[in-house]
Structure 1
Amino acid sequence: MNRIEEFEQARPLLLSIARRFLGRGHKAEDAVHETWLCYETQPAQAPSDRAFLSATVARISLDMLQPRRPEHPPPQPAPSPSAAAVALLEGLPPLERAVFVLREIFGCGPPEIAAALGRTQAACDRLAAAVPRAGDGRGTNRWPGRIEGAEAVARALAAIGPSLTRIAVTMEPQQVGRRPGAVFRDREGTVLCALAFDVLEGRIQTIRWLTRPYTCPSRPTPAP
């Protein structure tokens, strides 16, 4: 029995298998036809032609059930500057994150970073060398002047707060200009940065980093 005769003898079985997957429409006929094309191109007849044909039509039918992916899928939208900046922060270990915040967001120089960390200048220089800079190809092009969106704001504050608390930097709620905001101070009480909040319906929607130099009210002196 030649290959064509073998296939024609198996056709009712193959059509039955295809219909179990694809129903009684034209797709089952297409699956059987694809099975023949596959069988026809085999270099030699399989040891068990009927078993080979049955397995092939089942595989082709399953493949036809899968949604076809576009040859050129549409590009995914690029993350917003706020989302990219927060993702960069979240990817750093706590101490490196604190150095990144002090240097890239607060604009602190090496002496201020060393004072905030309570370490020697040399130790801080070695640590800072391992921390990525915004715009060096490993992070965002530049740190944005503001973080927008309630979710991004919450994630940014959650990433920044604990890493700074770890090195005794405090965040004090304070009016900044005409907006509610906060001031960051190091362990000696020196102001490192201030930020202002845009609040809508009781939720912070935007945080804006103030460009240095800026003026902030002094910390109240405790009553004797």
Structure 2
Amino acid sequence: MCVSAEASAGTDAYGYRPLLFSVAYGMTGSVGDAEDLVQDAFLGLTRARRAGTVITDLKAYLTTAVTRLAINHLKSARVRRETYVGDWLPEPVVVAADGSGPAEHAELSDALSMAFLVLLEVLSPVERAVFVLREVFGHGYPEVARITGKSEANCRQIFARARKRVAPGARPAGPGPLPERRAEGARLADRFFAAAAGGDLDALLGMLAPDAVFQGDGGGKAQALAASVTEPRRIGRLLVGGFHRVRALGAVLEPAWVNGRPGGVTYDAEGRVASVVALDIADGAIRAVHAVSNPDKLAHLGPVSGIGLLPGR
């Protein structure tokens, strides 16, 4: 992290870092890119202040800066996304079960689940900005218009178009799950992982929604499925087999919160990160299992294991 960029921007600006990270991450789905965009926004603020610019609303200034930087970034990154090997999943934001982790990660909006971010991939950069600002962060149309540089009427049209393109079930229900719902989700996740580790296929099927989906992201560098799996029995067998291999390699899955949802991090025998699993839960059932093993998307969590890497990687 470039501390000097934040220090030069001033302590009054640093307080907005969690918000800026959430906006940038919601736009890009990348922890590394989000951190870079936040640093660029702070550097821009420093240059503006040194040039004598008077900034009356610091929050609005920084939110606008990071959003527009993210729009430009997505325009240049689109080609890389189109040539990505296998399913694409966001870089996981992990908070340990005890709540420890970077402050901006711990405060990330619970609305930015993996399932939600995956569905945002169908939107153009500007559509994504309008949708995220309005749907996730609750900005009014005048604010969205000012931040994106579009007219208010245009933003209304963009938002309506984006809502039609994003599946209705993917829209966030609010600022985050209630404490009791979080506790219920954690208990379900514990039972789910215990059933997978114990090879209890019937128990897994009892917890998976009929339309559940499993997605894996190896990025062509680590072992992962070539395509999503959508049949509950196949998902259950896949999980049982996966947990058996993990155990045989001396690896272990530790509970964690991933993008505001129950999940876990798999560590090898040396304590290195091998994969991250996130569960999407609704109405007491597991609707999606997302597993990230691409080493490029795990490096921000610590040393990465080589147990799942493909030959030559």
Q: TM-score, normalised by structure 1?
A: 0.31
**Which protein shows a greater Rg?**
1
**Larger helix share, 1 or 2:** 2
Q: TM-score, normalized by length of structure 2?
A: 0.23
